[in-house]
Amino acid sequence: MNLNQIMTDLSYFIPEMMLTGILLLVILFDLFQKADTSIRSGYVALGGLILVTIALLGQDVSTSVGIFSNMLAVDPFGNFLKILVTVGTILVMWMSFNSNELKNRRVGEYYTLLLTLVLGMYFLVSATHLLSIYISLEMVSIMSYLLSGYLKEQMRSNEASIKYVVFGAFSSGILLYGFSLLYGLTGSADIFEIQAALSAGTVSPALMMVILVMILVGFGYKIAAVPFHFWTPDVYEGAPAPITAFLSVAPKAAGFAIIIRFFNVALSSAGNPNMDAWAALNNMDWQAVMGILAILSMTVGNVIALQQSNIKRMLAYSSIAHAGYMLLGVVVADQTGIAAVLYYAAVYMLMNLGAFFVAIHIKNEFDTEEIEDYKALGYKAPVLGVIMAIFMFSLTGLPPTGGFVAKFYIFRALIEYGDMYFWLAIIGLINGVISLYYYMRVVKAMYFGKIELPETVHHAPINITVLLCILAVPLLFAWMLGDPLSIYAQNAVQFFVK
């Protein structure tokens, strides 16, 4: 690898370099801030992320390339996800400025850690080498541990962090074990060379199955799929609320990216759209494994969510169920399936962040996280109530909201693929009905029951209302626009392959 090659590769690496620069700048900037002005570091971080988003949008990914000896890929798929997680982070930062939990403390590190996490996700969504996958996964995880324990003096937050670390370390141990076996059997850590070795068919399917399941443990933990979900509710409840919102969307989307890139693109079809999605693994029933994982995630997530009375825990379990819906798209794993997952991830980001942000605001104003205490909210704070109702309907997947359109794409992909996935579609849709019950509990609390009309009406501060509208309005119009987002998602299903 010569210097020219490195220089060429770096030209594809501009957004990441920008982000690194901003990260360092925030650290330096924060040195000169006192505790009460450290929020300014957050503003710098936010401004920086907006610049990075612009750079990502402007990046030319029409030709997919592998950079740094194929450690990382730069392709439309990665670009889409980088933009997705960056936008998600911007929204989370916006809400963090308004969070009571983060008031009156030094928050410079908070924003620095968040930016580092974003950088980690950039690597994760473009990693094409076992080493780069592992390192970026750890980068994301360690930052997540730190951020969930950010409220140092709170027991809950400490507990969240420790649980997260223990589960995380365990899963990445298993992941590494799988990686090392894979390396030992194929003689390479480059996933395209691994694919070539697998296609030659010298590895026994049974052994391969064991290896893949081990790797799946590591990835499944990142997306909180059942049965790797046990950390989720406690971490989600204990972490600072904006971080919970963040964890439920951004690292999850990045986790899906690596699952798709690793299992589907590299190991199986090698990104060839004309090849069956699971071609290289066709001597083992890998779809069935993924399908069962999807069913378990949807069903367990939904059924446990039914019993939650705390809104954060409810949303935590429901996020497990949503991971299940997205996994349905991964099972199909053809062009439509992956496009559906990308679209779902984007819509899910809007609605789930929205629901969490309303919950954060309610916690700030009325000091409660219990769904029961949302009583008469629809009358006490009419605007907030309507917006929350929109998020709840969208999360359930009712037309005409974006949540419906997203589910529609997933089920369309399943049924289009043919007869074999029809059952999966039935189970998935029935799960949607189950989820109606607990999402409607929030709506019910807000609007139903005996209500004394309050004398004063609560209005959220203008910046929160604007933020919530930015999240809610696209959900309402997703079906009407003929979906520029879905076209964008479809165009993003292009991968770098060697």
Partner 1 sequence: MENHLLSIVTFLPVFGAVIIALIPKEKLDIIRWGAAAITGLQLILAIWILYIFDFASPEVQLQEHFAWIPAFNIEYFMGIDGLSAPMILLTALLSFLAVFTSWNIEKAQKGYFALFLLLDAGMMGVFSSLDFFLFYIFWEVMLLPMYFLIGIWGGPQREYAAIKFFLYTLFGSVLLLLGMLALYFISEPHTFNMLILAEHSSQFGNALLLGMNAGKVIFILLFIGFAIKVPIFPFHTWLPLAHVEAPTAISVILAGVLLKMGTYGFLRISFPVLKDATLWFALPLAILGLINIIYGAMAALAQRDLKKLVAYSSVSHMGFVLLGMAALTPAGMNGAVFQMFNHGTISAMLFMLVGVLYDRAHHRDIEGFGGIAKVVPIYAGVTAMAFFAGLGLPGFSGFISEALCMIGAFPVFTWITIFATVGIVLNAGYFLWAYQRIFMGELNSKYENLEEINHRELFALIPLAIITFFLGVYPTPMLNVMSSTLNHLVEAVKTAGMVAGL
Structure tokens at 236: 């989600």
- In the complex, least distance from residue 392 CB atom to partner 1, rounded to whole angstroms: 11
Q: How many residues contact partner 1, by CB under 8 A? A: 31
Q: Which stretch binds partner 1 (CB under 8 A): 150-158, 283-291, 341-349, 412-420?
A: 412-420
Nearer to partner 1, 43 or 479 (CB): 479
Q: According to the binding rule CB under 8 A, does residue 433 interact with partner 1?
A: yes
Query: Token match 């969240």: residue?
Result: 160
CB 326 within 8 A of CB 255: no
Q: According to the binding rule CB under 8 A, does residue 372 interact with partner 1?
A: no
- Which of residues 32, 230, 437, 477 is near partner 1 by CB under 8 A? 437
Q: According to the binding rule CB under 8 A, does residue 110 interact with partner 1?
A: no
Q: How far apart are CA 218 and CA 133, in angstroms?
A: 11
- Which of residues 35, 131, 207, 487 is near partner 1 by CB under 8 A? 487
Nearest to 237 by CA among 128, 169, 315: 315
Nearer to partner 1, 307 or 463 (CB): 307
Q: Which stretch binds partner 1 (CB under 8 A): 143-151, 352-360, 466-474, 479-487?
A: 479-487
- Which of residues 423, 454, 463, 473 is near partner 1 by CB under 8 A? 423
Q: Which stretch binds partner 1 (CB under 8 A): 152-160, 289-297, 416-424, 465-473?
A: 416-424
Q: Is 64 exposed, middle or buried (0-12, 13-18, 19+ CB in 10 A)?
A: middle
- Which of residues 436, 468, 478, 492 is near partner 1 by CB under 8 A? 436
- In the complex, least distance from residue 411 CB atom to partner 1, rounded to whole angstroms: 6
- The DSSP secondary-structure symbol of 240 reads -
Q: Which stretch binds partner 1 (CB under 8 A): 104-112, 155-163, 346-354, 408-416?
A: 408-416
Nearer to partner 1, 29 or 438 (CB): 438
Peptide bond into 242 cis (omega under 30): no
Q: How far apart are CA 447 and CA 120, in angstroms?
A: 42
Q: According to the binding rule CB under 8 A, does residue 170 interact with partner 1?
A: no
H or E stretch at 295: helix 286-305
Amino acid at 192: F
Q: How many residues does the chain have?
A: 498
Nearer to partner 1, 14 or 429 (CB): 429
Nearby residues of 169 by Cβ (< 8 Å), 6 or more positions away: none
CB 311 within 8 A of CB 344: no
What's the chain's Rg over C-alpha atoms?
Answer: 22
Q: According to the binding rule CB under 8 A, does residue 391 interact with partner 1?
A: no
Q: According to the binding rule CB under 8 A, does residue 230 interact with partner 1?
A: no
CB 206 within 8 A of CB 239: no
Q: According to the binding rule CB under 8 A, does residue 284 interact with partner 1?
A: no
- In the complex, least distance from residue 401 CB atom to partner 1, rounded to whole angstroms: 10
Q: According to the binding rule CB under 8 A, does residue 400 interact with partner 1?
A: yes
Q: How far is CA 331 from CA 291, 340, 425, in A?
A: 6, 11, 11
Q: According to the binding rule CB under 8 A, does residue 498 interact with partner 1?
A: no
Nearby residues of 402 by Cβ (< 8 Å), 6 or more positions away: 347, 350, 351, 394, 474, 475, 476, 478, 479
Q: According to the binding rule CB under 8 A, does residue 32 interact with partner 1?
A: no
Query: Token match 């780069």: residue?
Result: 132
- In the complex, least distance from residue 208 CB atom to partner 1, rounded to whole angstroms: 30
Q: According to the binding rule CB under 8 A, does residue 477 interact with partner 1?
A: no
Q: What is the DSSP string of 345-390?
A: HHHHHHHHHHHHHHHHHHHHHH---BGGGGTTHHHHSHHHHHHHHH
Q: Which stretch binds partner 1 (CB under 8 A): 37-45, 259-267, 366-374, 400-408?
A: 400-408
- In the complex, least distance from residue 57 CB atom to partner 1, rounded to whole angstroms: 23
Residues binding partner 1 (CB under 8 A): 393, 398-400, 404, 408, 411-412, 415-416, 419, 422-423, 425-426, 429-430, 432-433, 436-437, 440, 444, 447-449, 479, 482-483, 486-487
